[in-house]
Structure 1
């Protein structure tokens, strides 16, 4: 991490204090140190990263985002917008060796001009050369047992992004998604269709032997309300596994209705794919931009006119000020989603050498 520019933040002492608390709280939350024998994989929807509609994020919050990301080896990021200024700044803060790979912009209103991104530490994780946006294949139409035509399949509104990485002995193909939110209902059929389409596409590739040399990881923002919903079943029905250590983790959205929007699912294709039992969701709002009178008062001068005045030109009430800070302003600094993470083994040298002993006996 490159901390020199902390001095250029609006309040250097506050920023430094927040970074120190983040370091301590992430360790207390059970996020293990990054090491040579394991790989830490995370997924994080960083809200409108970084939309012109809400103004640029502060240097302080970019430092907090970078500090959180630096605790993992590979981070799948959703809601990266067309301009990459904020992502560039975060990468620069994280220091030499960090790289990113991004998809093209998803056009159309539901696509929201979003990109998918993978941020990774190139000193530990190597890019295999595979990077592409998934296109669902056309539907084969048959008549009397013969193919008569191929009809175009409905694509996902935000194109899934698949990238290959190698970490130690483990080769991975990570596919990140941001599934359509749609109407406010748990089992929205369009959402279920999108999840099923991408999960089944990857499963078919695996069955056909096209991904036999890598382990599949499907991760991102699925907009799943609860693990028992039909939308979650669309993932597991395709053959993906939700690791046991992720099945009881807290919800990942920060709103009043706690929901399990984000997920990580795996489909091992090789023997070199094991999770360690370490996984979780990190709630940074216990640490920075806290829902407290102290933090609210500290950030009042930085909220601008949107904090002080309603659309009618009248000052907000005290309750309105608190609501604005806690549910809107701070989520456009950090996010309305929490990062989810899992640890996998990446050193199988002992297992490999022991195979020779078994063969001899």
Structure 2
């Protein structure tokens, strides 16, 4: 980590955070053997005025993982650039364009990753829902409030497509349930196409799943959730399970069922930034990061599948 010069007060807070991270007992990733992936909705990241200390702490948290799906990245990328500077030269990012309306909330989706452990494979793009031909045009009958974002990566012998999403909010739970269902169908369609880049898919994001029906819709196409991420609370208020990491891997041994929620801060920490308890979430977030461990040495399983196929 490249935090640079810190004042004494900031250094003390950073050490406090490091102690809290240590207490989580996160497993270590191993080159060409395993990686830690995470998803974090960082509230209005790039919009509000975060303190320098907040950016140091965000970088420290992201730096515990090898690939992080960042939700709610906004149009201004200045804070992200600062965080990448603190993470150091081995870190990089791919991100989507802005959805420029109130439904899209001027948000982006991003993957921040450590190039020593994970390599970007070239594919990146926002999701396009199915279209139908109407006269001379191809028109989408329905859309996502914020288009999902896909990027292809490889680590060790494991190639995968990461898909990030921030699904709709709003008063209508019926409309939200419908978008969750359509998202699951869209990912399933992409996975089943004959010419997909890779059939190993990891889905990240904030799905605003508030009811059992919404959770069921998200999993309706057979996506799996690491056991450690079942029935958890992912918001700062510790009331909702909005954030998920899902998978539908070709190589079944890739997912270890190790994972968890990083409850590293609370409203009691508002004094770190000189703000009210209610404004703590605008310095760090109103969501906690969630993580999962992925095994990336798939050579043996590939050979076993080849042998069984014959």
Distance 2:167 2:10 in 1: 34
1:115-130 to structure 2, matched below 5 A, reads 115-130=108-123
Residue 285 (structure 1) shift:
1.1
Aligned CA distance change for structure 1 residues 130 and 68 (closer, same or farther; 3 Å): same
1:250-329 to structure 2, matched below 5 A, reads 250-255=232-237, 258-268=239-249, 270-271=250-251, 274-285=254-265, 291=268, 296=271, 299-300=273-274, 303=275, 325-327=276-278, 329=279
TM-score (norm 1): 0.78
SS at match of 1:279: strand
Query: For residue 90 of structure 2, what is the aligned residue in structure 1?
Result: 97
Gaps of 5+ in 1: 142-146, 304-324
Aligned CA distance change for structure 1 residues 299 and 124 (closer, same or farther; 3 Å): closer
Aligned CA distance change for structure 1 residues 21 and 355 (closer, same or farther; 3 Å): same
1:1-361 to structure 2, matched below 5 A, reads 1-5=1-5, 7=6, 12-36=7-31, 37-51=33-47, 54=48, 56-139=49-132, 152-183=140-171, 188-211=173-196, 213-226=198-211, 229-248=212-231, 250-255=232-237, 258-268=239-249, 270-271=250-251, 274-285=254-265, 291=268, 296=271, 299-300=273-274, 303=275, 325-327=276-278, 329-349=279-299
**Do the aligned residues in 2 keep the contact of 1:272 with 1:348 (CA within 8 Å)?**
no
Aligned CA distance change for structure 1 residues 84 and 59 (closer, same or farther; 3 Å): same
What is the RMSD computed on CA atoms of the aligned residues? 2.5
Distance 2:64 2:140 in 1: 42
SS at match of 2:265: helix
Distance 2:149 2:197 in 1: 19
Aligned CA distance change for structure 1 residues 251 and 349 (closer, same or farther; 3 Å): same
Gaps of 5+ in 2: none
Distance 1:149 1:112 in 2: 28
**Do the aligned residues in 2 keep the contact of 1:169 with 1:272 (CA within 8 Å)?**
no
Aligned CA distance change for structure 1 residues 299 and 24 (closer, same or farther; 3 Å): closer
Cα deviation 1:285-314 (Å, max 9, x = unaligned): 15xxx516xx63x644xx4xxxxxxxxxxx
**Do the aligned residues in 1 keep the contact of 2:226 with 2:259 (CA within 8 Å)?**
no
Residue 124 (structure 1) shift:
1.6
Distance 2:67 2:305 in 1: 30
Distance 1:97 1:179 in 2: 31
**Do the aligned residues in 2 keep the contact of 1:34 with 1:71 (CA within 8 Å)?**
no
- Paired residues, number: 307
